[in-house]
Amino acid sequence: MASPLRSRLLRPTVSKCLQHLSRRHQSTRPSFLRRNRANIIWSTISFAFGLGTVQFGLHMLAPPALPAPGSHEDKVLVADLNKRIDEEFKVKVLRGKCLGVTKTLKGEEAGWVEIIPMQAEQGEKRQDRLLDLLQGAKGLGVERVFYNRSDHQLVAIVYFGPDLSGWPGVTHGGLLATALDDKISLANYLSTTSDLSTLAAAAPQRLPGTGDHAKLPLPSTPIPKEPAQLSVDYKKPTHANDFYVIRVSPAYPGGEDVRIPIQGHEYTATLERLDATICVRATAKFAPRSQAERVKDKVGEKFGGGKGWSYADFKEWMWPSRQKESQIG
């Protein structure tokens, strides 16, 4: 039996030079990751880009559902929208106009007043109006409405939520027409209402610059009547989930930039972005008022003077005995 020392000596040995070359060859051979580094990087980038594109497409076509109106989550979102709209520059400017500093110093009546919906203060709901059914952060959310009693101009800062989209990310055109119709109806109601004492009573609550601005609670009834004719011209896309400005003013003689104008229209309205870019333009005309309504307004203007007489006051003053007999009977 050969000893272990002898068998080890008889083994073929490799020279030190060959051993050095073998180790050098093994150490310089790149690994799998190093040999395919470029392919791995580009494959990872392509996969991430494709995954992101798919997620973005799914989010645009089927965005996650927002909380239901009236829920706790919706109230949190609405509170944030109220904070954002109160910080808008246009809202601050219009509320400054509602103070009427210049006119108050001159002893004149201030023109601008903020319209406060009655349901916002007393929790009333008018379910017969379409816009009342679209509230919440995913719908119309919040708005601020201002009215000028001098030139009968109405300005509203409104919000269109993501659930009002027809095409992904773009507010539905029918909803825009409905919003313009609602603001035109409100402007017509405020300019033709016979209860002028309500408008005249709206005044700053304290001295200009130190107190609150002029506010006017809007009664829940009667519902302002809608225009008989409405022509809407869509200029630019109106993106959802953003704030916009609606301006309504009485129509003046002259050509209006509307594709299908209404002959003898009474009001013009525009829907603008915050940078004054016009997205939608509309004209409206109301049905002719009855003879009794026109006589009632003329009598109130002629005999009311600055006292704000109503038609009932005029009848009481004109025929006091007849009014008493009708009450007794």
What pLDDT sits at residue 269? Answer: 93
- Where exactly are the structural domains of the chain? 33-62, 72-288
Contacts (Cβ under 8 Å, ≥6 apart) of 240 = 160, 161, 162, 163, 164, 165, 169, 170, 171
Mean pLDDT value of segment 259-276: 80
User: Are 196 and 304 a contacting pair, CB within 8 Å?
Assistant: yes
* Peptide bond just before 222 cis, omega within 30 deg: yes
**Residues β-bridged to residue 216:** 115
Average pLDDT over every residue of 66-83: 87
What is the arithmetic mean of pLDDT over 68-78?
86
CB-count exposure of residue 100 (10 Å: 0-12, 13-18, 19+): buried
- Mean pLDDT value of segment 269-283: 93
More confident residue, 143 or 306: 143
Tell me, what's the pLDDT at 152? 87
User: Is pLDDT at 209 greater than 60 in this prediction?
Assistant: no
Pairing of strands 143-148, 112-117: antiparallel
**Does the pLDDT at position 329 exceed 50?**
no
**Which is higher by pLDDT, 210 or 151?**
151
Rounded Cα distance, 50 and 44, in Å: 10
E strands of the chain, at which residues? 112-117, 143-148, 153-160, 165-167, 170-171, 215-218, 229-234, 242-250, 267-272, 278-285
**In this structure, how many other beta carbons lie within 10 angstroms of the beta carbon of residue 25?**
9
Q: pLDDT tens, 131-188? A: 556 778 888 889 999 999 888 899 999 999 888 888 878 999 899 999 999 999 999 8
Tokens of 54: 């798919």
pLDDT band, very low/low/confident/very high, at 122 (cuts 50, 70, 90): very low
**Cα torsion angle, 276, 96, 131, 224, sign:** negative
* Domain 72-288 belongs in CATH node 2.40.30.10: no
User: What is the rounded CA–CA span in Å between residue 96 and residue 240?
Assistant: 28
Q: What is the mean pLDDT of residues 261-266?
A: 67
Cβ contact 145:90 at 8 Å: no
Note the pLDDT of residue 85: 92
